[in-house]
Amino acid sequence: MKLIFEKSIPNRHGVRPSKSDVPTSVNVPDALLRDQPAELPELSELDVVRHFTELSRRNFGVDTNFYPLGSCTMKYNPKVCESVAAYPGFADLHPLLPQLRMGGMLTQGALAVLYETDLLLREITGMASFTTQPMAGAHGELTGIMIIAAYHKDKGNKKTTILIPDSAHGTNPASAAIAGYDVKVVPSDRSGVMDIEALKGMINEQVAGIMLTCPNTLGLFNPHIKEICNLIHSVDGLCYYDGANLNAITGIVRPGDIGFDIVHLNLHKTFATPHGGGGPGAGPVGVAEALVKYLPVSIVIKRQDGTYALEYDQEKSIGYIAPFYGNFGIILRAYVYILMLGREGLIRVSQNAVLNANYIKEKLKDHYDQPHKQVCKHECVISATRQGQNGIKALDIAKALIDRGFHPPTMYFPTIVKEALMIEPTETESKETMDAFIEAMIEIANLAKTDPEAIKDAPKNTVVSRLNETQAARDPNICSMCN
């Protein structure tokens, strides 16, 4: 497919509206104006429409194919949530509209959504209060770490260290470091969860807190979680819950009930909207009662007369962490999703996520190595080490899946598993879709034994075939690397 510039024909154009006869005023300084027309491609309207329509057909997403990225929860996005988010009463709002006076009723519905989402998330997590401002999971992490820092500063604690397991999301140590903490990594034990004996040896008065993803990135729930929280609390540390994997336990376990002090949730992963593609996201942060005073401003409150307003009077708040109210459209979608499913529906979501992951894990156990044999939660991790005996790597398996119409799982993560493939089917995929994926994975495993070169050449059915990975990093010019 040619680039649109390559399709350009001099003096070819589409419909050109006549020049406006309304006087205009341009306040841009002459020095900033072009002295020559922009060098844009020249095409007919039909050619432009066909070009971009063809490009759109080459997109890969959850609306077109199975997308089993582990730890990313690329599940189906219910269109009912999209429909509500498109209501003019929500979509046409401006964030600077008044809250109460002078037409403030225009914003009361949106403020009610923010307020009630806070209440729903409290019930789901066992937290005392939430801020909906953070605009992604990593942004929620940073907000949570800033709250930990504010807590210790307020108490006069001289804390320097955040503990993070080696199976954590990569953004956890980055968030802790940005907030000024030293990061110490706690190793995993042979069962794949954080080694509690190693943790005990790292507990001291310098520990400000711990960041835990639960279930972890191997899809495993740590059975020592309450003991871990107690150990951190024994030195006045705080326990931070990375909620990226909440869809494994929603409605079944509340982080606040097992000792966590701070929670961030990926609304764009757990509730309604797929994660990825650069956003937008939403990473609300919830806290226990003792930490409410440190939440970012502003907070939506409900007045005695039933109206909603924004409260800014928070003396010990960490301040603003996002403009206005966060990604309202994502929060609204999650609000619709939660109300639509209700308590029993959310429990079933988690049960289906766990069932689907274990179904795939069991079906593939005779064909791929599995570093941990126990029942997993919402995702499973397999290894291509067995295929490595024939020169096949996880990357080769991923490329072969593309030829079969599936997006590859997450590769080489978590790093504690060699040749890792991290599979998350999510709760929204059917048995038929998973069976087709399983069949493809088994076919690839068999090819790895009988004809490994066929896999090394994959993908063959795509617009761009196998790229030179090293060259792609150094020279990101796709056209120069095509076979």
Question: Residue 481 — pLDDT band, cuts 50, 70, 90?
Answer: very low
Within 13 Å of residue 366, how many CA atoms lie on the same side as its CB?
A: 6
Could you name the CATH architecture of 80-341? 3-Layer(aba) Sandwich (3.40)
**Are the CB atoms for 380 and 423 separated by under 8 Å?**
yes
pLDDT in tens, 446-461: 999 999 999 998 998 8
Report the range of poorest mean pLDDT among 20-34, 181-195, 278-292, 426-440: 20-34
Per-domain residue ranges of the chain: 80-341, 350-468
Could you name the CATH architecture of 350-468? Alpha-Beta Complex (3.90)
Smallest CA-to-CA distance from 158 within 230, 207, 200 is with: 207
pLDDT score recorded for residue 103:
55
3-state secondary structure the chain: CCCCCCCCCCCCCCCCCCCCCCCCCCCCCHHHCCCCCCCCCCCCHHHHHHHHHHHHHCCCCCCCCCCCECCCCCCCCCHHHHHHHCCHHHHCCCCCCCCCCCCCHHHHHHHHHHHHHHHHHHHHHCCCEEECCCCCHHHHHHHHHHHHHHHHHHHCCCCCEEEEECCCCCHHHHHHHHCCCEEEEECECCCCCECHHHHHHHCCCCEEEEEEECCCCCCCCCCCHHHHHHHHHCCCCEEEEEECCHHHCCCCCCHHHHCCCEEEECHHHHCCCCCCCCCCCCCCEEECHHHHHHCCCCEEEECCCCCEEEECCCCCCCCCCCCCCCCHHHHHHHHHHHHHHHHHHHHHHHHHHHHHHHHHHHHHCCCCECCCCCCCCCCEEEECCCHHHHCCCHHHHHHHHHHCCCCCCEECCCCCCCCEEEECCCCCCCHHHHHHHHHHHHHHHHHHHHCHHHHHCCCCCCCCCCCCHHHHHHCCCHHHHCC
- Residue 472 confidence (pLDDT) above 80: no
Share of the chain above pLDDT 90, in %: 71
Smallest CA-to-CA distance from 66 within 383, 440, 456 is with: 440
pLDDT in tens, 26-73: 678 888 888 888 889 999 999 999 999 999 888 888 888 899 998 888
**Are the CB atoms for 267 and 331 separated by under 8 Å?**
yes
pLDDT in tens, 118-132: 999 999 999 999 999
- Residue 91 confidence (pLDDT) above 80: yes
Amino acid identity, position 118 = D
Amino acid identity, position 463 = V
pLDDT score recorded for residue 286:
97
Task: Determine the average pLDDT of the residues in 238-244.
Answer: 95
List 137's β-bridge partners, or say none: none
Equal CATH topology for 80-341 and 350-468: no
Task: Determine the average pLDDT of the residues in 283-293.
Answer: 96
| Biggest CA pair distance of the chain | 79
pLDDT score recorded for residue 474:
85
pLDDT in tens, 168-209: 888 899 999 999 999 999 999 999 999 999 999 999 999 999
pLDDT score recorded for residue 186:
96
Taking all residues of the chain, what is their mean pLDDT, rounded to a whole number?
91
Q: Which comes out higher in pLDDT, residue 404 or 20?
A: 404
How many angstroms separate the CA atoms of 199 and 227, rounded? Answer: 11
Question: Residue 278 — pLDDT band, cuts 50, 70, 90?
Answer: low
